Each structure stands twice: as structure tokens, then as C-alpha cells.
């Protein structure tokens, strides 16, 4: 977990995905794992946002609409995940991770 925290703070990319895998390996359900991973990802992002804010590196015309859309997506996604259950979250996670993996492979070549 400590190593994932360092990775998340330094690089940040896909940290919630790695955290979700970690929580699943610890015996949590997929829904619980994704919830905890997204919350921890939020805390990491909040820390980064504070640093960027201190240094005046935030473009608010982009940041505000992105924050609103992200909050709306999180709200709708979490309610849908609770309604549909663990099996649905697991399938969706595998599909999205596979699509991103294929995208990364295609971009590399």
C-alpha cells in the first residue's frame, strides 16, 4: 500500500486501478474495492490540486467544468453500481481495463 501511495503521488496514472486490484486481493468485493480505490484516488488528486493551486498552475476555465462533470459521473456511477451489484461492476471494470490495454498497445506500435 505504501508503494502504491508513492506511485500515486509521483505519477498518479491508473492509481485507483492498482488500488482496486490490491483491495480485491485482500478479500474485498469488487464494489467495495472500487469505492475505496476511487476515494483514495480522490485524496491523492486533492493533494495534487492543492500543490498546483499554491503554484498558480490551475486553469480554472478547464478545471471547473471538469470537476462538475467528474462529480456528476461519480454520483451517477456509484448509484448505478449499487443498484446493479458486484457482478456488474466486475464485468464493467474488466471491459474498460481491456479497452485501455488495447489502446495502449496500439499506441505503442
- Per residue, the 3-state secondary structure of 2-34, as one string, reads HHHHHHHHHCCCCHHHHHHHHHHHCCCCHHHHH
Domain count, the chain: 1
- For 16-68, write each residue's pLDDT tens digit: 777 888 888 898 888 888 888 888 888 888 888 898 899 999 999 999 999 89
Domain range holding 62? 2-108
Question: Quick one: which of 91, 76, 72 has its CA closest to 30?
Answer: 91
The three cell numbers of residue 4 are 502504491
Residue 72 pLDDT level (bands cut at 50, 70, 90): very high
- The structure's pTM equals 0.65
Amino acid at each position: 500500500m505504501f508503494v502504491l501511495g508513492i506511485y500515486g503521488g509521483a505519477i498518479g496514472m491508473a492509481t485507483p486501478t492498482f488500488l482496486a486490484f490490491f483491495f480485491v486481493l485482500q478479500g474485498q468485493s469488487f464494489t467495495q474495492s472500487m469505492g475505496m480505490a476511487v476515494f483514495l484516488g480522490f485524496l491523492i488528486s486533492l493533494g495534487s490540486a492543492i500543490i498546483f493551486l499554491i503554484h498558480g498552475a490551475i486553469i480554472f476555465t478547464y478545471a471547473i467544468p471538469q470537476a462538475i462533470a467528474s462529480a456528476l459521473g461519480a454520483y451517477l456511477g456509484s448509484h448505478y453500481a449499487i443498484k446493479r451489484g458486484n457482478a456488474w461492476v466486475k464485468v464493467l471494470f474488466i471491459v474498460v481495463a481491456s479497452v485501455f490495454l488495447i489502446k495502449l498497445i496500439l499506441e505503442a506500435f
